[in-house]
Amino acid sequence: MKPPAFDYIRAAHLDEALGALHASGGDARILAGGQSLMPMLNMRLTRPAVLIDIMRLDALAQPRLEKGALVVPAGVRQAALLDRATLVDEVPLLAQALPWVGHAQTRARGTPCGSVAHADPSAETPLCLLALEGEVRLRSRKRARVVKSVDFFTGMMVTARAEDEMVEAIALPLRRPGTGYAFAEVARRHGDYAIVACAATVDSRRIRLAVGGVADRPTARDLPLLDGSALDDALNAFAWDLGAGEDVHATARYRRDLVRHLGRQVIKEALRCRN
Amino acid sequence: MPKLSAASRHSVSFTVNGVARSVEVESRTLLTDALRHGLGMTGTHVGCEHGVCGSCTVAIDGTMARACLTLAVAAEGCDIRTVEGLGLGPGRLGVLQAAFKRHHALQCGFCTAGILMSLDTYLRRHPDPSREELTLVIGGHLCRCTGYAPIVAAALDAAAELRGAQKHPEETAHA
């Protein structure tokens, strides 16, 4: 279908975008790469009065390193991040997961911040942000604030972002020595949303496993350094606690099975590459 | 800060296949419809209209893009290439198109325009691609006729020809 009618604002400065967001009284959406929002508009699942295009803002165009984190502003496209030669050393988990985000054609336009703002429970970028305990940087006309990833995702495509705020950037903690990172997912076709996606980080103290596609939001659990049947038991408990549902793609039982198997796989891989 | 009202039509300008064009659109008009209805360039096809099937794929500023997920007004000032730009002239196929013909890489042809644009864009940046890389690029398209194998074969063949590794006699259109 075609999108419903809206006013379109091409912001030339961040202040203009934030002012327009404030003035709209909650009836505006930020348009970045459009790879999540445009399908929603075409299917008329959302009907904003105003779209605010932020892709011409130089201030949001470049990733940067800052206090132990890779900061990715809202105008950075997924493909640009994948092309960043140092990404695999800086944030190896994201380097592993990004090729699973859509296809080359959508990664050329889509943005990591857009994925986070959209907050699909199966999406890879929110999962990585949560696994790494990253931050979401929000800004409104009046204030800027930082929300921890664990507090940002509050439900199925629902986040802690207020209506007059935009996701200005995400901050992904840089690789730490002695920590291993691994990602895996199962989908019907490469590029589809995951049926289940798992991301693990393992250091000398703990295992952190994040799971997407099962609960209504990406969900993480910290475990001690277990192995053998103790790890199996912990994964089984996590799989049940996620409250898997059944849909056209998979049964609840299959999803629990994927959590157990993919969970073990990514933990094993993260342990292997820990150094 | 330009604000384009939902209630009126707006002129948007960009280049299409190297030619400066302007078209009157609503703020909500998709790039697919601006090309097809506004400019009469119907080579870009409309399939699913939510970014999945790939038949509307064009190149925007040298990168692949779903035209159905792009607002025409957001393409202001951009460099757009469409399947109409691939031919060498009237009735003369480009290298990639000719390879598709030789390898029977299309049957109904509905998906072909999008696949050609993805491959053309990819080959410009990656002149010596592996079969696996091409499979991933074509993975962003749905083709229900060919089973994809002839498409990959045509793309490998065209890449080799574009690198100067082999020559095919230029093919002419059927009379």
A12 interaction partners in chain B (CB closer than 8 Å): 1
B139 interaction partners in chain A (CB closer than 8 Å): 103-104, 189-191
The ipTM assigned to this model is 0.93
pLDDT at B170: 58
Q: Where in chain A is the domain with CATH 3.30.465.10?
A: 63-173
pLDDT at A189: 84
Residue found by looking up tokens 């190149």 in the block: B59
Q: SS3 of A236, please? A: helix
Query: A54 near A60, Cβ under 8 Å?
Result: yes
A31 interaction partners in chain B (CB closer than 8 Å): 71, 74
pLDDT tens-digit series, residues B69-121? 999 999 999 999 999 999 999 999 999 999 999 999 999 999 999 999 999 99
pLDDT at B172: 47
pLDDT at A215: 96
Q: Where in chain A is the domain with CATH 3.30.390.50?
A: 180-272
Beta carbons within 10 angstroms of residue A257's beta carbon = 15
Beta carbons within 10 angstroms of residue B109's beta carbon = 13
Which CATH code for domain A63-173?
A: 3.30.465.10
pLDDT tens-digit series, residues B140-170? 999 999 999 999 999 999 999 999 877 776 5
Please indicate if any CB of chain A lies within 8 Å of the CB of B160.
no
A54 interaction partners in chain B (CB closer than 8 Å): none
CA gap A78, A115 in Å, rounded:
10
State the smallest CA–CA distance between residue A188 and chain B in angstroms.
13
pLDDT at A97: 98
Residue A99 carries which side chain, given as an amino acid letter?
P
B69 to A35: CB separation less than 8 angstroms, yes or no:
yes
Our CA angle for B19, B24, B27, nearest 5°, is: 115
Superfamily covering domain A180-272: CO dehydrogenase flavoprotein, C-terminal domain (3.30.390.50)
Which one of B49, B57, B141 has the shortest CB-CB distance to A42? Answer: B49
- Give the distance between the most distant pair of CA atoms in chain A: 58
pLDDT at A275: 67
Residue found by looking up tokens 């890389």 in the block: B133
Query: A17 near A140, Cβ under 8 Å?
Result: no
Select the residue from A1, A6, A7, A8 to test the B interface by mutation, using most B Cβ atoms within 10 A.
A8
pLDDT at B173: 47
pLDDT at B171: 56
Please indicate if any CB of chain A lies within 8 Å of the CB of B109.
no
B68 to A2: CB separation less than 8 angstroms, yes or no:
no
Which pLDDT band, with edges at 50, 70 and 90, does B175 fall under? very low
Alpha carbon separation from A93 to A21, A98, A172, A214 (Å, rounded): 33, 9, 10, 20
Domain A7-53 has CATH 3.30.43.10: yes
B26 to A5: CB separation less than 8 angstroms, yes or no:
yes
Q: Where in chain A is the domain with CATH 3.30.43.10?
A: 7-53
CA gap B52, B9 in Å, rounded:
28
pLDDT at A193: 85
Residue found by looking up tokens 């277990």 in the block: A226
Which one of A12, A41, A105 has the shortest CB-CB distance to B1? Answer: A12
A103 interaction partners in chain B (CB closer than 8 Å): 54, 136, 139-140
A42 to B50: CB separation less than 8 angstroms, yes or no:
yes
Domains located in chain B, CATH noted: 10-85 (3.10.20.30), 95-162 (1.10.150.120)
Which residues touch A61 (CB under 8 Å, ≥6 apart)? A73, A75, A76
B1 to A8: CB separation less than 8 angstroms, yes or no:
no
CA A229 to chain CA mean position, Å? 31
> What string of DSSP letters covers B86-127?
SSSBTTB--HHHHHHHHTT--SS-TTHHHHHHHHHHHHHH-S
- Kindly report the backbone phi and psi dihedral angles of residue B52, in degrees, each rounded to the nearest multiple of 5, phi listed first: -95, -45
Q: Are strands A153-155 and A7-10 parallel, antiparallel or unpaired?
A: unpaired
> What string of DSSP letters covers B111-170?
THHHHHHHHHHHHHH-SS--HHHHHHHHTTS--SSS-SHHHHHHHHHHHHHHTTS---PP
pLDDT at B2: 81
Low-confidence ranges of chain A (pLDDT < 70): 275
pLDDT tens-digit series, residues A194-231? 999 999 999 999 999 999 999 999 999 999 999 999 99
Output the 3-class SS for A3-41.
Answer: CCCCEEEECCCHHHHHHHHHHCCCCEEEECCCCCHHHHH
Which residues touch A252 (CB under 8 Å, ≥6 apart)? A244, A245, A246
H or E segment to which residue A78 belongs: helix A78-82
A16 to B137: CB separation less than 8 angstroms, yes or no:
no
Q: SS3 of B4, please? A: strand
Q: Which two tokens stand for residue B152?
A: 């990959």
Residue of B nearest to A193 (CA): B52
A106 interaction partners in chain B (CB closer than 8 Å): 51, 66, 69, 140
pLDDT tens-digit series, residues B3-47? 999 999 999 999 999 999 999 999 999 999 999 999 999 999 999
Residue of A nearest to B73 (CA): A8
Q: What is the dihedral of CA B40, B43, B48, B49, to 10 degrees?
A: -40
Residue of B nearest to A100 (CA): B136
